[in-house]
Amino acid sequence: AERTRLKIEKLLTESVTRVNEAFSMAEFYGSGQTIHKGVHFSLLDYIIDDDTRCFSDTEYCDEKVMPMGEMCNEPIVCDNLKHVFCNNLTSLRFYLHAFSAFRNHGAFCLSYAFTYRNMSDFQ
């Protein structure tokens, strides 16, 4: 488990390095003027979620089928609310909704979630 965790940490660090290489010379314009140049990204925080906090393989969520804009206003209804990712999530839309609600991402301009799960509505 520790080797896997180290590999994931290395993947995250390398991803940020590559993004910085790609955006180092980028210029973003607004109203004809440069508003951002040489954008730099930092990895400030991350969570590697694993199954150590899960107690059952049969926990589910009420994964409603609706547009993403409407879903964002819906409460998360799951068997395991304490650790929402322990539930058997099958909808990519609901996974993203749960990820957004799981933690306050307001201090960050970008948040990403990587998963190994097969999603029924992945396009």
What distance lies between CA 83 and its chain's CA centroid? 15
| Rounded Cα distance, 17 and 40, in Å | 10
In the chain, where are the structural domains located?
A: 1-43, 45-123
Closest by CA to 88, choosing from 64, 57, 112, is 57
Which residue's entry shows tokens 């839309």?
93
Res 123: pLDDT: 54
Whether 78 contacts 60, CB under 8 Å: yes
C-alpha distances in Å from residue 32, one per residue of 23, 26, 38, 40, 93: 19, 15, 17, 22, 36
Chain segment 51-79, per-residue pLDDT in tens? 777 877 678 888 888 887 788 788 888 88
